[in-house]
Structure 1
Amino acid sequence: MGSAIENRVSRRKFEKEPITDWEKENIISLINQLNEASGLAMEFLEDGSGAFGKLRKSYGLFTNVRSLILMKGKKDDKDLKEKIGYYGEDLVLAITDLGLGTCWVGGTFDKDEISIDSGEELACVVVAGKVAAPSLTEKMVRSATHRKVKSMEERIISDQPLPQWVQNGMKAVLLAPSAKNTQKVMFKYENNILSAQIADDYSMDLIDLGIAKKHFEIGTIGKFEFGNGGIFHLK
């Protein structure tokens, strides 16, 4: 999984060739396992191209989108968005290990093309598929949206020098995707307690919080509590 966080980049241009049955079965199996662990209702959609067909001028300039994962769960789950980020990033990294490209997509798709149960909320989707070398357009989009990666010092407030386990976790956080590359999740290490929080003034913020917490855990040993401001428990 460690190599996956280094290899993962957001991809928006896919090949026309659909993913194989073997790849599809692996993804569905992973989704089932993560849904079981989380209580989410993530769902693989083999052909979700209709949700992207009308958005010619959408942010990111998506091409040949076919397979989608619907990132959804029960409306009454108070940690829904954070769980989607946390468990969804597990899924994204596993799909990366399969050799496929992925991208988290918040608002630039047509939700009317996707049907979900009335008791569920669709927070976002993840697109997945076979990718070739990045196109010039992709490189330009990446250059425009991926401004300078914030330093570790810009992402964590501390009242003491950071111990190695915190540094290890933060190095993994710096590789985490975030909506429009805003890198808003902030960590705090005070009185030997580590926590993570975000402003939560944008629809994808709590998803980004879950993604960042997952990356921190990958970089070190321990587990975060859910919730904005949730505390990390070192193992």
Structure 2
Amino acid sequence: MRSAIEDRVSRRKFEKEPITEQEKEKIVSLINQLNEVSGLTMAFLEDGSSAFQKLRKSYGLFTNVRSLILMKGKKEDKNLKEKIGYYGEDLILDITDLGLGTCWVGGTFDRDELTIDSGEELICVIVVGKVAAPSLREKMMRSAMHRKVKSIEERIISDQPLPQWVQNGMKAVLFAPSAKNTQKVMFKYQSNILSAQIADDYSMDLIDLGIAKKHFEQESEGKFEFGNGGIFHLK
């Protein structure tokens, strides 16, 4: 399994030292490549700390936040949220390979401090930076989440034994982050067709769908269609 899938954890405590110019350039290059492929308008913000400085928004969950990635795209994109999750997780895995920490943030930041174009929608942000030693709170949260990881059998419905390529993909799915650790994305393997879907009754659900699809693809040769219930096509 790709090491970044296992190494990636949501980090909320960062060092005061900002990322280096070389790291910034690499991240911006990755963002530009993904924007070109996806049609998204994700953007790196070197100092977005003002969006995390109001206690009423961040509730003390984050420490020393500085650099952000604005996860945004055109309002008319019907798959916008899913694309944000899919390409955003692609970006996070590459940033993890750089040795930096990240965290998806959906609501605990001040949107009024961030500027976007009128034709765009800001879905969420990703915080990124050098990681300090895990705080006690982070350790407790990580331990609690680890105990609650659902099994492969709880994440997929099948009418036949799972082939190895499906098992490989599902193992990676178990490492996929999800809002409030709900792990709601469900897979179906029926009549030799694999699909992925989610209830879509929470604002972050379609983001989680994109993230889960990306994780599955990392360990299985093929690609999902976009859309809730999208089908996987083997290469």
Residue in structure 2 matched with residue 128 of structure 1 by the alignment? 128
Establish whether residue 214 from structure 1 lines up as the match of residue 203 from structure 2: no
Gaps of 5+ in 1: none
8 Å CA contact 2:4, 2:96 repeated in 1? yes
Cα deviation code 1:42-61 (max 9, x no counterpart): 00000000000003673671
Counterparts of 1:104-115 in structure 2 under 5 Å?
A: 104-115=104-115
Deviation at residue 81 of structure 1 after TM alignment: 0.4
Report what 1:45 is aligned to: 45
Counterpart of 2:172, as a letter, is A
Residues 1:190 and 2:190 are matched in the alignment:
yes
Query: Aligned equivalents of 1:185 and 1:59: distance in 2?
Result: 28
Q: Provide the C-alpha distance between the structure 2 equivalents of 1:220 and 1:60, rounded to a whole number of angstroms.
A: 39
TM-score (norm 1): 0.97
CA distance in 2, matches of 1:76, 1:65: 31
Any gaps of 5 or more consecutive residues in structure 2?
none
Cα pair 2:57 2:109 within 8 Å, conserved: no
Distance 1:215 1:59 in 2: 30
Question: Aligned partners of 1:45, 1:115: CA distance in 2, in Å?
Answer: 10
**Alpha-carbon distance in structure 1 between the residues aligned to 2:82 and 2:234:** 20
> Given the superposition, is the C-alpha separation of residues 59 and 9 from structure 1 closer, same or farther in structure 2, using an over 3 Å criterion?
farther
- Distance in structure 1 (CA, Å) of the matches to 2:4 and 2:139: 20
Map 1:197-208 → 2, pairs under 5 A: 197-208=197-208
Cα distance, 1:157 vs structure 2: 0.1
Aligned residues: 235
User: What is the deviation of 1:221?
Assistant: 0.4
- Residue in structure 1 matched with residue 6 of structure 2 by the alignment: 6
Q: 1:62 aligns to what?
A: 62
Does the 8 A contact of 1:12 with 1:60 survive in 2?
no
The runs of 4+ residues in structure 1 deviating greater than 6 Å are none
How large is the Cα RMSD of the aligned pairs? Answer: 1.3
Question: In the aligned structure 2, how far is the partner of 1:99 from the partner of 1:222?
Answer: 27
Offset at residue 131 of structure 1 (A) = 0.6
In 2, Cα distance between equivalents of 1:42 and 1:15: 24
Q: What is the percent sequence identity of the aligned residues?
A: 86
Q: Which TM-score applies when normalising by structure 2?
A: 0.97
Separation of aligned partners in 1, 2:84 and 2:60: 21
Q: Distance in 2 between matches of 1:117 and 1:143?
A: 40
